[in-house]
Amino acid sequence: MYFSSISLVGYRVSYFISDSRCHHIFGGKHAIIGACCPNCKLPLIRLLQLDMLDRKIGDNIAIPIQYIPILYCFRCDLIDEPFYYRMNDDSTISIVKYKEQISSRIHTWGYIDESKLPVYYPEVMISLTELSCEEQYLLLASYLSDYIDISFLPELLNISKTYLQKFTNIINHQIGGIPFLPQGWTEFLCPICDKQMKFLASIADEYVDNEHKIVSFTYEDIQVQSAICPDCRVIGVNHINWC
Ligand SMILES: [Zn+2]
Ligand SMILES: [Zn+2]
């Protein structure tokens, strides 16, 4: 399987820490023109929004736009296939490809009916923290753990076995680098140029509620994966179930 990422270095997301030079957001209401679900007609859910003023992002994705929003909908058949949209010059988006609703099916996430899901999640300021070489090595090793014995890693990296076991829980959401992909990677093909897209972000099944508690989006331990084609300014979004 081919895989490439927007950057060699990966970043984890920290909630409630703002960076005065840029404005990354998790969740929140938005007024992005064009960001309406073509099936259920509700606003697309903004999971994450990256500020291109942050050189960690802007230097790696050289396109002249202010923000990259990662948008999705958990409430309709759009979840059945990768979803693609284009970011336009004027900060609007145009939906390029999606799975059309073909039935009156109602999906149940965990124990919650999709129609009961929030229309948006509370807005939380976030910052991006660089993953160390050791952490990236651990992520690569976890990806390869079906093929190689990784029991030697704690000694090699001078970390405890407990840390190794808990490590992937630390990485809740990730931008760039080598991601933690316990169920593999979605092969995103740009619907405009047909090329393989680059890993942009992985988003764990969690958000922060108004009482600052961590809550599951769907109660199903999903991972949302996102990729980008910088040439066409297209974002792809898909979710993968963990089990
Ligand atoms: Zn929808
Ligand atoms: Zn493309």
CA of 237 to the centre of ligand 2 (A): 14
- Per-residue pLDDT tens digits of the chain, which is 243 residues long: 678 999 989 999 999 888 778 999 999 999 999 999 999 899 999 999 999 999 999 999 989 999 999 999 998 899 999 999 999 999 999 999 999 988 777 777 876 777 778 889 999 999 999 998 888 888 887 777 777 777 777 787 777 777 777 776 777 899 999 888 888 889 999 999 999 999 999 999 999 999 999 988 888 888 999 999 999 999 999 999 865
CA of 20 to the centre of ligand 1 (A): 34
CA of 126 to the centre of ligand 2 (A): 28
Residue 13 CA to residue 169 CA, distance in Å, equals: 12
CA of 195 to the centre of ligand 1 (A): 26
CA of 3 to the centre of ligand 1 (A): 28
User: How is the chain split into domains, by residue range?
Assistant: 11-131+171-241
The residues, any chain, with a CB within 8 Å of residue 242's CB and separated by 6 or more, are: 182, 183, 220, 221, 222, 223
CA of 103 to the centre of ligand 1 (A): 13
Residue 240, token pair as written in the block: 């993968």
Q: Tell me, what DSSP letter sits at residue 79?
A: G
Query: Which ligand sits closest to the CA of 77?
Result: 1
Query: Which ligand sits closest to the CA of 227?
Result: 2
Question: Measured at the alpha carbon of residue 163, what is the angle toward residues 161 and 167, in degrees to the nearest 5?
Answer: 125
